[in-house]
Every structure is written in C-alpha cells, then in structure tokens.
Amino acid sequence: MRLVVALGGNALLRRGEPLDAAVQQRNLARAGDAIAALARDHDIIVTHGNGPQIGLIALQAMAYRDVAPYPLDILGAESEGMIGYMIEQELAPRLPGREFATLLTQVEVDPADPAFSHPTKPIGPVYDSEAARRLAQASGWAMAPDGAGFRRVVPSPEPKRIIELHAIRRLMADGVLVICAGGGGIPVVRASGRRMRGVEAVIDKDLSAALLATALEADGLVLLTDVDAVYTDWGKVEARPIRTTTTAELRKKRFAAGSMGPKVDAACRFVEATNAWAGIGALEDAVNIVAHSAGTIIRR
C-alpha cells in the first residue's frame, strides 16, 4: 500500500520534556522503529509536526537583537530541514540500502484566509501566566491557554496546494523514502507569476498530510500521536475509545480544537475525498493501525 504517515509532535518531544536536541533524538528512536516497520512492507511518505521546534527557534532568534527576527516561514524551513535530518539519521541504520530525501515543501495558502486575523495554532514551550504576560508585552505575541499554562499562538491558514508535488512523485517513483511537508509545510502565497512569497503562519500538519495523501492517491493516511485512539468524552470517567467508525459518525461529534480535533478533521477530509481509509493512534501501534487491529479506523 501507499501510505502517508504523519508523526505527531510527541515523536520528538513529550509534554513537559526540555527542548534539548539529545532528548528529541532519543524520542525519535521510537519513531524510527515505527516508520521502518511500515517501510519494509509498504510505500510510505513521512510528514511531521514542528510546533515546539519552531517556537524554540523563534525564541533563539529574538535573543540576538542586532538583526530583526526572521519571519515564521523561514523559521519553518529551518525546522523542516532540522527534523527531517534527525529522522533520516534514525531510519538509515534500520533500512539499509534505502535512499531518503528530506524535501523543503512550500504549501500555498489563501492570503484572504480569516485565520490570519484569528491566531489559534500553538507553538513553542508552555509558560506560566507571568512569563506569558511578559512575552506578550515584549514581543506582541498572542498567547492562549494550553493545559495548566500558556503558549504562543499564530495564524493557521488552510493548505490549498503543495508546490513540490511533482518533485515528491518523481522521488517516490525512484524508490526514495520522502520526508516532506514537515510542520504542515512552509506557508506561501502567490505574489506574481510563478513567484511565491512566504507569510507569517504555521499550517496544521495534519491538514497538510491529508492534502498530500489525497494528491498522491494514497491507500491510507496514518496519523500517529500519543494516545491509542480517538475517544468519546475524553478526560471524563466515561471516556471510551472509538475503534471503527465512519466520517459521518465522527462529523457528529466534537473534539478538542487544540489536540484531536484537527486529526479527526484531516482524516475525514482524506477519506471523503478518496474513499480510502484513515487511522489515528499511538506511535508504537503503527503497524497494527495499518492492519486495522489498533487505533481508530475511519472509512467512508
């Protein structure tokens, strides 16, 4: 099967862990095991999140005051290359003889998207209320509650078109395992003619993964996260996992906008557009999700 596999942010960092490179590399060993197990039997394309990483890079950029801080599209490109490199390091010893390519991926968005005036996408570390207040005053960042703390939020426009789609197809045709559209891809708008211009935003990586899977006519979309399935009544005593469901049934339910909501929406979009299947579940269950014996499996 051809599968698009989207790694959640937990593949690099678990909540509460420091943003150290060594911590991320250790966590990626788990992701490397899961991806390699799938790649031995399937044709896979890998995407990943970048929320903590791009937020950290933005903080580091602010610390050097002799130049203006770099815009988010450039920071997104930095994080995409960095994370792709770390994933390749884990895959190479697990898949000897395979070739890998991390592709910086531009994703076109609509400059009139209302998301630009309503930032909702959390990036960077979690702050207490006082630190969040100081950062908001000093930098003009929008801050929003995240669990017991606060995180910076930025615009998250809808992905419309993957600019490097033809290059991704050519690499796949040559048997290359492609890592692309990391962090949702680099958000760009059309400036004039063929010229694209980056914008201050971070695209939701699950929505970009669904767009990529649809364009590549994938047989399945696998969204890997830190919970074993989609749950009804999450956080309550009566919470129950959803094992097999349809897009129509999922569309009737409500899920948290900052966590499971985008994954459910992305999975439903892909299934509705292709009549293929999508799976949502834990990183360690990747092989079983593809076998439809774990996670939440969504069909038309």
| pLDDT tens sequence across 262-282 | 999 999 999 999 989 999 999
Single out the catalytic residue among 49, 121, 198, 281. 121
To the query of whether residue 263 is one of the catalytic residues in this protein, the response is yes
Residues 6+ apart with CB under 8 A from 125: 19, 52, 55, 56, 59, 151
From the list 32, 55, 184, 205, the catalytic residue is: 205
* pLDDT the model gives residue 11: 67
Q: Which of 8, 220, 263, 295 is catalytic?
A: 263
User: E strand or H helix at 64, and its extent?
Assistant: none
The predicted structure's pLDDT at residue 62: 72
Rounded to whole angstroms, the Cα distance separating 263 from 69 reads 31
d(CA 5, CA 179): 10
Which regions of the chain are under pLDDT 70?
A: 10-11, 258
pLDDT tens profile 163-202: 999 999 999 999 999 999 999 999 999 987 778 999 989 8
Residue 215 to residue 192: CA distance in whole angstroms: 24
The DSSP H or E segment spanning 45 is strand 43-48
Q: Establish whether 50 is a catalytic residue.
A: no
Based on the residue annotation, tell me whether 252 is a catalytic residue of this protein.
no
Told to judge if 9 belongs to the known catalytic residues of this protein, a careful annotator would answer yes
Q: Which of 9, 32, 55, 281 is catalytic?
A: 9
